[in-house]
Amino acid sequence: MCTYARRNTRFFIMNAKHILLVITLLFSAVASVAQVKITGKVVDEKGEPIEFASVKIAGTAIGVNTDTKGHYEISAPTRDTVMVVFSCLGYSTVRRQLLKPTGTVSINPKLYSSSVELQGVQVTEFRKQTNTLQSVDIESMKMTPSASGNGVEAIIATQAGVSSKNEMSSQYMVRGGSYDENSVYINGIEVHRPQLVTSGQQEGLSVINPDMVRSVSFSTGGFNAEYSDKMSSVLDITYKEPEAFEGAISASMQGGSLALGTSSKKFSMLHGVRYKRNSALLGSTDTKGEYDPQYFDYQTHIVLKPTDKFKVSFLGNVALNDYKFIPKNRETSFGTSTDAKSFLVYFDGQEHDKFQTFFGALSLNYKPNKGNDFSLIASAYQTNELVAYDIHGEYWLDQAGGSSEGNRGELGVGKYHEHARNRLRINVWNIGFKGNTSISHNNFSYGFNYRRDDIYERSREWQWRDSAGYSLPHYPEEVNVIYSMASKNDIRTSRFAGFLQDTYKLYMGNGILSVNAGVRVSYWDFNKETLFSPRFSVGYVPARNTRLTLRLAGGIYYQAPFYKEYRIQKVDSVGNSYIALNRDIKSQRSTQIILGGDYTFRAMDRPFKFTTELYYKKIDNLNSYEVDNLKVVYAGNNDGKGYIAGIDMKLFGQFVEGTDSWISFSLMKTSETQKGVKVPMPTDQRYSLAIFFTDYFPKIPRLKFSLKGVLSAGLPTSAPNCTRSEGYFRQPAYKRVDVGLSYALVDREHRPSSGFLSKFKSIWLGVDVFNLLDISNVSSYYWITDIHNYQWAVPNYLTRRQISARLSLTF
């Protein structure tokens, strides 16, 4: 019995040893499987990092997401073949195959967005936006019909909350703000616009050259503390750094452009030249005459990288805009079918305006390591502006149709003479420092800036009116002008500004949280004013529903006055008007709160994104103003307060498979207390609908169609030298549709492998129809005053239907 027990015990012990040996061998085999570490950075076609991109090992459950700078790190068992799959919402999927990988392997894939990919690529969703700065698709810009030729601003004008009332201009209003409340940055440097421009035909070319643009970001409010003291929006442009020799040529009936770039290992340069002459477009307005506009623009972007840590870049711009006009006659019909009127004018005289802009910026960038980079920036800007006209006219205002009383005939007859000699020279010098430091999940940005303004103005303008043989205002023993203004000012001021902000991103179990908080401090020695501008934004992507992105932003924003905002009109002892500078002016203050979000979904097996934002702005120290075409006339003092509230909605997606389109709709209400009376602000656009639609013909895939449509409410306006508190009316709604057809002789899918055409990346032939429906939109009014001081508002109409052909090539 004992012997049997001892034998069984030895048997179990020996089996246990064998089992342990087998288990040990199994664990050793598993542990001995080699691991490969795969690291790298995921970027888009512009070289920008893609955050939240998915990196997976095919056939396994192993996967990670890229961080906020596009970096990733993943480990997997090595095999004969390891397939790594890179994907992101809104980008094509990229696969990389590794053969018997060992140790550490680096893969830095480039993902292309749906708008520039080959046919057959399926896009599932869109890139997440966790802050208030949205990326704008620049590929859409290339096929967008634009009467002004300014492609970037034409796309911006179709975004939710943005309004443009003049197709010849690059200027726009955002969420109830004026044209002056929008800041524009190129390569991190703020750029300026001419100050004396009052109409689209004077403006010429935009400061942004579309052929040189690499990326566009835009914010309609709630932007970070790094951006300057403007209340409404930020347009942040980054120019290209060519990787090899490249070029672009475009020509149309309005002008042409040429961009050339080249690159070596440590040096790259990009040059752009544009010329515009849109006399045919201007000839479609009611005022006939000899239009001779000539607009020229040259820009350069030069980058030198002596080492991996140092970069020196230069941005330069020369813009010469020359506008000549000899008017002959004008005939305008307006009113209603039962109360139609006709306004006929014969002119004598001419207008000659010059706007010359020179800009240069030098940037020194030092990046000692992955977590730090520092920049020293110096820039200089000069604008020389001259507006000169002497125009005499004789007019007849007639009742063109039967009124309710059946009367017909002459309503007014008279003469007028308008004179101006306005000269303005502005020099702006900037020197500043910017830095970024990353510590764990925090990215700190900081900087300071010194700016010097040197302004010289000599202006003199007056208007003489005669009605029925009497000069206005009528005094029996005197001849008077109805309006006069003189300005003689020289001023030199200094501005100091600094900012500090932190961007914190945290990957939590229940979602991804992104927080940006910062403060901007500035001082202006002209009025001894110090401003504190705290700002924040929060973005959240819940893990339970990654199709949803929520955003909250706000802060206190200021509109630091530039020259024309603190000019105030006064009257001397003999009754002559002159311009003085208000040293007691304060910056307008806007306290903002913005709540919004995105929701992505699929319909018709195509991706869509619906965006909604609610906003409220409380405005104090309001510097009231009136808008006349593109001219903003300020009161020059802080005489009011008000608010702006509204909702913006945008549906973006592939309404047609393979092409991006969008619809935006906005509702807004504004209120301003002016002289104790509550009135709408001059930018009170109660509703706006914008459509950008692209399509292609299935049987002719090389032929593409694009449509840009706008319908927006009319703005409040008042008579000259009057304010809205004394009375106002609304202009008619702005309605316009532009369409374009483009045919690809050469593109990504249709590029010959040999011959002359193989040297080109793309060749497009196009035809654009501006104002397809031939609608007469009103830009402003010409006011007729009779001897009884009764005023008639004669509309100044914008351009009518025009057809233009274009050719564009890239190589």
Q: Please calculate the CA angle 252-253-256 and round it to the nearest 5 degrees.
A: 40
Stretch 681-704: mean pLDDT: 87
Distance of CA 495 to the CA centre of its chain: 25
Query: Is the per-residue pLDDT at 121 higher than 50?
Result: no
**Residue 470: predicted pLDDT:** 61
Q: Cβ contacts of residue 483 below 8 Å, gap of 6+?
A: 461, 462, 463, 577, 720, 721
- pLDDT confidence of residue 379: 95
Is residue 167 within 8 Å of 147, Cβ to Cβ? yes
Strands (E), 468-605: 470-472, 483-508, 511-524, 529-542, 548-559, 567-571, 577-581, 588-603
Reported as a single tens digit per residue, the pLDDT across 300-340 is 999 999 998 899 999 999 999 998 888 899 888 887 777 78
Query: In Å, how far are 208, 270, 298, 363, 523 from 377, measured between CA atoms?
Result: 20, 19, 21, 4, 19
> Which tokens in the block code for residue 227?
């951006």
Three-state DSSP class for residue 10: helix
Integer Cα distance of 7 and 4 in angstroms: 5
262 vs 115, higher pLDDT: 262
Helix (H, G, I), strand (E, B) or coil at 344: strand
Q: How far is CA 487 from CA 424, 493, 568, 576, 578, in A?
A: 10, 18, 10, 11, 6
> What pLDDT score was predicted for residue 87?
82
Cα radius of gyration (the chain):
32
pLDDT at 472: 63
Q: Please give the Cα distance from 401 to 427 (Å, whole number).
A: 54
Say if strands 104-106 and 182-186 run parallel, antiparallel, or are unpaired.
Answer: unpaired
Contacts of 262 (CB under 8 A, 6+ apart): 242, 244, 245, 246, 268, 269
Res. 802: pLDDT tops 70:
yes
- Say whether 549 sits in a helix, a strand or coil: strand
Q: What is the mean pLDDT of residues 633-645?
A: 90
Given a cut of 90, whether residue 31 has pLDDT beyond it is no
Q: Is the pLDDT of residue 6 over 60?
A: no
Q: Read off the amino acid at residue 729.
A: F
Half-sphere exposure of 47 toward its Cβ, with a 13 Å CA cutoff?
8
The residue-averaged pLDDT of 760-764 equals 84
Residue 198's pLDDT is: 74
Beta bridge partners of 331: 344
Peptide linkage before 473 cis (omega within 30 of 0): yes
Predicted pLDDT at 526: 93
> CA 134 → CA 128, 137, 318, distances in Å?
10, 10, 29
Q: Does the pLDDT value for residue 355 go beyond 70?
A: yes
pLDDT at 64: 84
Residue 727 burial by Cβ neighbours in a 10 Å radius (0-12, 13-18, 19+): exposed
**774-787 exposure pattern, b = at least 16 Cβ within 10 A, e = fewer:** ebbbbbbbbebbbe
* Pairing assessment for the beta strands 734-746 and 700-712 based on DSSP bridges: antiparallel
CA-to-CA distance for 458 and 422, rounded, in angstroms? 6
Residue 497 structure tokens: 């500004």
Token pair 């139609």 in the structure block, residue: 340
DSSP structure string for 451-481? EEEEEEEEEEEEEEEEETTEEES-BTTB---
pLDDT score for 342 = 85
Strand arrangement, sheet containing 233-239: 134-136, 213-219, 233-239, 182-186, 189-191
Q: What is the pLDDT of residues 554-579, one digit of tens each?
A: 999 999 888 888 988 888 776 678 88
Length of the chain in residues, anyone?
A: 811
pLDDT of residue 476: 64
Region 410-417: mean pLDDT is 80
Quick one: pLDDT at residue 360?
95
DSSP state of 587: -
The per-residue pLDDT for range 716-741, each reduced to its tens digit, is 988 877 788 888 889 999 999 999 89
Indicate whether 115 pLDDT > 60. Answer: no
Task: Taking residues 645-652, report their average pLDDT.
Answer: 93
Give pTM, 2 decimals. 0.82
Distance CA 290, CA 348 (A): 12
**First vs last C-alpha separation in the chain:** 97
Q: How confident is the model at residue 639 (pLDDT cuts 50, 70, 90)?
A: confident
Q: What is the mean pLDDT of the chain?
A: 84
pLDDT tens readout for residues 622-633 = 998 888 877 888
Q: According to the model, what pLDDT value does residue 89 have?
A: 62
Backbone angles phi, psi at 149, to 5 degrees: 80, 5
pLDDT recorded at residue 2? 44
- pLDDT of 224 over the 80 cut: yes
pLDDT reported for residue 471: 63
User: What is each CA distance from 614 to 324, 663, 780, in whole angstroms?
Assistant: 45, 17, 30
- Asked if 214 contacts 238 with a C-beta cutoff of 8 angstroms, the reply is yes
**CA angle (388, 391, 397) in 5-degree steps:** 140
Lowest-pLDDT range of 83-92, 529-538, 598-607: 83-92
Average the pLDDT over 476-484 and give the result.
72
Per-residue confidence (pLDDT) for residue 122, from 0 to 100: 43
Q: What is the DSSP string of 673-731?
A: EETTEEE--TT---EEEEEEEEEEETTEEEEEEEEEEEEEPPPEE--TT--GGG--EEP
How many angstroms separate the CA atoms of 510 and 513, rounded? Answer: 9
Q: How confident is the model at residue 796 (pLDDT cuts 50, 70, 90)?
A: confident
The rounded percent of the chain whose pLDDT value lies above 90 is 32
| Contact assessment for residue 75 and residue 55, using Cβ atoms and an 8 Å cutoff | no
8 confidence band (pLDDT: 50, 70, 90): very low
CB 111 within 8 A of CB 53: yes
CA dihedral angle for residue 205, residue 206, residue 212, residue 213, rounded to 10 degrees: -150
Among the listed ranges 140-144, 194-198, 264-268, 514-518, which one has the minimum average pLDDT value? 140-144
**What pLDDT, on a 0 to 100 scale, did the predictor assign at position 5?**
41
d(CA 159, CA 437) in angstroms, rounded, equals 33
